[in-house]
Structure 1
Amino acid sequence: MTDPFDLTGKVAVVTGASSGLGRQGALALARRGAKVLAVARRAEPLRSLEGERIRAVPGDVADRAGLDALVSRLTAPFGAPDIVVHAAGLNLRQIADDVTDEGWDQTLAVNLTAPFALSQRLVPAMKARGWGRIVNYASAQSTRAFPGGIAYGASKGGIVQLTRAMAEAWSRYGINANALGPGFFETELTEAVFADPDRAARNAAQTCIGRNGRDGDLDGPLVFLCAPASNFVTGQLLMADGGFTAK
């Protein structure tokens, strides 16, 4: 039988790959056979990922004026991508009364606009092949309100509806679009959470499983959404949060 989780021969773009969940995602896809283009603004930590199956492509996905040039660089190493994983994220943790215009615009540019704008540029090649995968990173804040998270929550709520709209627009061409919702993982984006042991413990207690996320917990869900295993799955939000949003 053909392995439905085998990504051999596929080319994947992973944004936000210099650290955290993006970095883990890039490694997970490479282990399953994909050739991976790792994208982030910080070149040095990104280049530490490079190997036989991973190429570093430094770039700012929120710079719309530079997206066409970025796409050209993404297609150079392995050809046009089959898969794009939008893991880049920004959370400034500004409370509602203190949100600045700049903070709002930056947050939505990275978390919501970039996933659409980059996908839109990569979709034509996927259409031509009749196969593609788009995975947008959602959040517990896609469905719940957190203190200091109004801009981030708006962007992550939007990403779920964007995912549905992408599925409606492009799945008829063989391009499946889904959202992956991580729970609490210790990354640069969640430093403020894990710097407070009591807060981290409360989050763990809120899950059905009784702990926060660990390295490798997202690998299976991400590979599933990128692989042939998810051929009949599109427009969906898959929460990989230990049951945090189930309670």
Structure 2
Amino acid sequence: MLVEEAFLSQSLFDLTGTRALITGSSQGIGLALAEGLARHGAEIVLNGRNVAKTGDAADALAAKGYKAGSAVFDVTDAAATAAGVADIEAHLGPIDILVNNAGMQFRASLEDFPAEKWDELLHTNISSVFHVGQAVARHMIPRRRGKIINIASVQSELARPSIAPYTATKGAVRNLTRGMCADWAKYGLQINAIAPGYFKTPLNQALVDDPEFSAWLAKRTPAGRWGNVDELVGAAVFLAGPASSFVNGHTLYVDGGISTAL
């Protein structure tokens, strides 16, 4: 009985035989999640807009013994995304897991926020989730199975000065996740989101390098520190695997407690 229970507990988090597309995955959180899913058996398809950078990241994963490739297309372009997803399905095989990770940040006071940056944030942080999610779901729905994980943020729930448009986009990701569930759960898809708190990534490097901000963050976060990107892997593996078969439309905060305490 103990052997059977041990096997079951392992199989709940076993991704062997699956294929995962991770957008914005040439560095940072996306690359960390890609490697984490690969460690649990998934074949990885990295996505980005820079051919060399995305290819190098895939080669680095392959050098570690993981099955990894790359697909370069612009996730803010609906037609390019549909074509890119169709190409993966035709030449590599079905996409079982999608991680919508592509994102950007721009900081400025709201009264002076450039209109072109507002548009860029909307296209990168929320339109991409819609475009890629829709393109992949159209292939998943006939198969009656699939996992979609959208990367939201602690800013889906909270706000700080100078990032109001970013907060708006991440709030939209949270609600789009719910909407995807409402439309697609009946087809056997599970669509959930991970909401990271403050993690050491290239996107946050300016804040990491700011001693005043890091000191504020340590006091503000119950865990007392920045997060490390590897600490997001467990949540992704859970949402990508059999263990989350009845979890749908949920946003999982991985934030050291910052969203729970004043």
If the length of structure 2 is used for normalisation, what is the TM-score?
0.90
Identify the residue that residue 74 of structure 2 maps to in structure 1.
Answer: 60
If you compute each CA radius of gyration, which structure gives the higher value, 1 or 2? 2
Q: Comparing 67-76 with 28-37, which one deviates more in the overlay?
A: 67-76
Amino acid at match of 1:129: R
Structure-1 residue corresponding to 2:3: none
Residue 118 of structure 1 pairs with residue 126 of structure 2: no
Match of 1:196 in 2: 210
How far off its partner does 1:196 sit?
0.3
Aligned residue identity for 2:257: G
Distance 1:170 1:161 in 2: 14
Aligned alpha-carbon RMSD (Å): 1.3
Of 238, 241, 245, the match for 2:255: 241
| Identical-pair percentage | 38
Which stretch of the first structure deviates more once superposed, 74-83 or 175-184? Answer: 74-83
Q: Could you tell which deviates more after superposition, 43-52 or 22-31?
A: 43-52
Counterpart position of 1:32: 40
What SS is found at the alignment partner of 1:49?
helix
1:146 is aligned to 2:166: no
How far did residue 76 of structure 1 move?
Answer: 4.2
Residue pair 1:18, 1:45 contacting (<8 A) in 2 also: yes
| Structure 1 position 159 matched with structure 2 position 173 | yes
The residue type paired with residue 117 of structure 2 is: G
Name the counterpart of 1:48. 56
Q: Secondary structure at the match of 1:55?
A: strand
Determine the structure 1 residue equivalent to 2:4: none
User: 1:217 — aligned with what?
Assistant: 231
Q: In structure 1, give the amino acid aligned to 2:144.
A: G
Q: Which amino acid is the alignment partner of residue 40 of structure 2?
A: R
| CA-CA distance at 1:39 after TM superposition | 0.3
Q: 1:149 deviation in Å?
A: 0.7
1:135 aligned to 2:149?
A: yes
Structure number with higher helix proportion: 2
Please give the TM-score of this superposition, normalised by the length of structure 1.
Answer: 0.95
1:6 aligns with 2:20: no
Classify the secondary structure of the residue corresponding to 1:38.
strand
Give the SS at the match of 2:93: coil
Post-superposition Cα deviations, 1:175-214, rounded to whole Å, max 9, x if no partner, equal 0111101111111111221120220121122222221101
Q: Following the alignment from structure 1 to structure 2, what is the Cα–Cα distance between the partners of residues 122 and 17? A: 17
Shift of 1:29: 0.7
Q: Which runs of 5+ in 2 are unaligned?
A: 1-6
* 2:100–2:132 Cα contact (<8 Å) kept: no
Partner of 1:110, secondary structure, is helix
Residue 24 of structure 2 is matched in structure 1 by 16
Q: 1: distance between equivalents of 2:237 and 2:91?
A: 22
**Do the aligned residues in 1 keep the contact of 2:28 with 2:229 (CA within 8 Å)?**
no
Taking the aligned partners of 2:187 and 2:37, their CA distance within structure 1 comes to 23
Q: What residue identity is the alignment partner of 2:18?
A: K
- Taking structure 1 as reference, are residues 113 and 215 closer, same or farther at Cα in structure 2, changes over 3 Å only? closer
Residue 201 of structure 2 is aligned with which of 187, 194, 201? 187
